[in-house]
Amino acid sequence: MRRTLGLPAIVMAAAALAMALPAAAQTPAPGRTPYRIDVTKIQPRSLLPTKPLHDDFVVAINKKGQVTRVLSGHRSGNTPFDEHTYGNALQMFIRTTDGHVVLGKYRVNYDYDPKTERIRRTIALVSTGGVNPNAIGAVADMLKHAHKDPAPILPAPTAGPAFNNNDLPTLNEVFGPSPKPH
């Protein structure tokens, strides 16, 4: 048996489509926003540093644009900030705006401004070439070493009587009977 839509269903579908088209036409195209790290989402304002901080690292990249290793760096002396920026530098991909990769060494600067409570990251090419284009990325390398010999999640069972869940008391025995609603 063939089923057709009635006139009210067609009118409702056309009305829904007519309302959706202008909304879609008015939606702006997504633009590129500058990269910013909002430190207030990482820790409370009372724990934020009160003085400006600066870290810089020289990193090498591979043919994909992944950072393969940190070659050198200068740290601010603020351990949480230093760890945060070092981890960020290891996870980076460095590419041109059109998506191409320029093999080489890059300087990555991190500047924390206590007035705005933001970290500004800038990247500059130090030298082209001199890196292994087929090197594995730093994060992939760390994961490869971490999964070589993973530690057991639970300790090995020891000899002794087996634990039985049936030996546990019931919830009523632990907390008493549930109160009756009023």
User: Which whole-number Å values give the CA distances from 73 to 70, 76, 107, in the listed order?
Assistant: 8, 10, 9
Please tell me whether residue 57 adopts helix, strand or coil conformation: strand
DSSP secondary structure, 70-88, as one string: EEEEE--S-HHHHHHHHHH
pLDDT of residue 178: 72
Q: Which of 30-44, 128-142, 155-169 has the highest mean pLDDT?
A: 128-142
Residue 3 has pLDDT above 90, yes or no: no
The predicted model scores a pTM of 0.59
User: Do 61 and 69 form a contact (C-beta atoms < 8 A)?
Assistant: no
Strands 37-38 and 118-128: antiparallel
Average pLDDT over residues 2-13: 53
Residue 92 has pLDDT above 90, yes or no: yes
Residue 160: pLDDT band (50, 70, 90) is low
User: For 119-146, how does the pLDDT look when each residue is reduced to its tens digit (9 = 90+)?
Assistant: 999 999 999 999 999 999 999 888 888 7
Q: What single DSSP character describes residue 154? A: S
Domain ranges of the chain: 37-146
User: Do 124 and 106 form a contact (C-beta atoms < 8 A)?
Assistant: yes
Residue of higher predicted confidence among 51 and 14: 51
- Quote the CA–CA distance of 122 and 158 in Å, as a whole number: 55
